[in-house]
């Protein structure tokens, strides 16, 4: 499985159930890296999507504890086991862990790749993912050139991890 996230200097990912910033090149990369694949996301992230519905050209699985939850264009799972059951026939390199923080934490052990957009700024935020640089299991395998969007500096960092748990 592959983690995809955009983080600031403190690994912040969101505020008020929204993203911290929208960088067009990052959005384009997200689309390229997720189209045709299966996305796992938490109920809060799902509800923050444009129109409150699944993104096109992707299979989406939404995790919630709400019994009768309906998610437009997506499948709903009520436990980690149910998610794993739904993806049991899907190859691991076709499954993207798309957040938020609770989902990154829960599924990290199944992930062997992470595509992190690192934004060189400290946002006022309320949601943070785990810092992969502080986790000895993860190592950086590729870093893009430094990029800019107006006065923001960011880069695409690719991480790998051995011994991901099988599902
Ligand atoms: N920067 C990025 O790349 C990025 C990516 C994605 C999201 N985000 C941001 O992250 C924030 C949302 O993250 P979050 O951690 O607050 O929320 P989240 O992970 O999107 O959703 C949390 C919800 O998922 C459900 N859930 C999680 N684990 C579950 C389990 N084991 N069993 C059943 N249900 C489970 C629960 O839904 P119920 O309450 O319905 O039970 C829980 O309240 C937003 O600000 C969003 O914009 C940022």
- Residue of 2, 15, 21, 65 to mutate, ligand 1, most atoms within 8 A of C-beta: 65
Q: What is the pLDDT of residue 58?
A: 98
* Cβ–Cβ < 8 Å for 55, 49: yes
pLDDT in 10s for each residue of the chain, 167 residues: 999 999 999 999 999 999 999 999 999 999 999 999 999 999 999 999 999 999 999 999 999 999 999 999 999 999 999 999 999 999 999 999 999 999 999 999 999 999 999 999 999 999 999 999 999 999 999 999 999 999 999 999 999 999 999 99
Looking at residue 120, the DSSP 8-state letter turns out to be S
CB-ligand 1 contact for 18 (6 Å cutoff): yes
Domain map (residue ranges) of the chain: 2-161
Q: 77: helix, coil or strand?
A: strand
Ligand 1, closest atom to CA 79? 32
Helix or strand holding residue 29 (H, E): helix 24-34
Number of Cβ within 10 Å of residue 6's Cβ equals: 25
The pLDDT tens digits for 29-58 are 999 999 999 999 999 999 999 999 999 999
Q: How far is the CA of 145 from the centre of ligand 1 (A)?
A: 30
Bridge partner residues of 7 (DSSP): 118
CB-ligand 1 contact for 65 (6 Å cutoff): yes
Helix or strand holding residue 96 (H, E): strand 95-97
- The answer for residues whose C-beta is within 8 angstroms of residue 151's C-beta and 6 or more apart is none
Q: How far apart are CA 20 and CA 81, in angstroms?
A: 31
Number of Cβ within 10 Å of residue 120's Cβ equals: 12
The domain defined by 2-161 carries CATH number 3.40.430.10: yes
Q: How far apart are CA 81 and CA 132, in angstroms?
A: 24
Ligand 1, closest atom to CA 99? 6
The pLDDT tens digits for 77-89 are 999 999 999 999 9
Q: What is the pLDDT of residue 88?
A: 98
Ligand 1, closest atom to CA 103? 19
Q: What is the pTM of this model?
A: 0.98
């Amino acid at each position: 499985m592959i983690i995809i996230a955009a983080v600031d200097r403190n690994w912040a990912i969101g505020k008020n159930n929204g993203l911290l910033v929208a960088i067009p090149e990052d959005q384009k990369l997200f689309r390229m890296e997720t189209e045709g694949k299966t996305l796992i996301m938490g109920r809060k992230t799902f509800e923050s999507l444009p129109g409150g519905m699944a993104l096109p050209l992707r299979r989406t699985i939404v995790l919630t504890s709400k019994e009768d939850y309906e998610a437009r264009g997506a499948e709903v799972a009520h436990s980690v086991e149910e998610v794993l059951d739904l993806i049991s026939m899907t190859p691991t390199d076709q499954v993207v862990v798309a957040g938020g923080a609770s989902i990154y934490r829960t599924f990290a052990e199944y992930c062997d790749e992470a595509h992190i957009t690192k934004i060189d700024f400290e946002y006022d935020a309320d949601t943070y993912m785990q810092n992969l640089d502080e986790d000895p299991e993860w190592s950086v395998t590729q870093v893009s050139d430094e990029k800019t969007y107006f006065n923001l500096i960011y880069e695409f960092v690719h991480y790998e991890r051995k011994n991901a748990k099988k599902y």
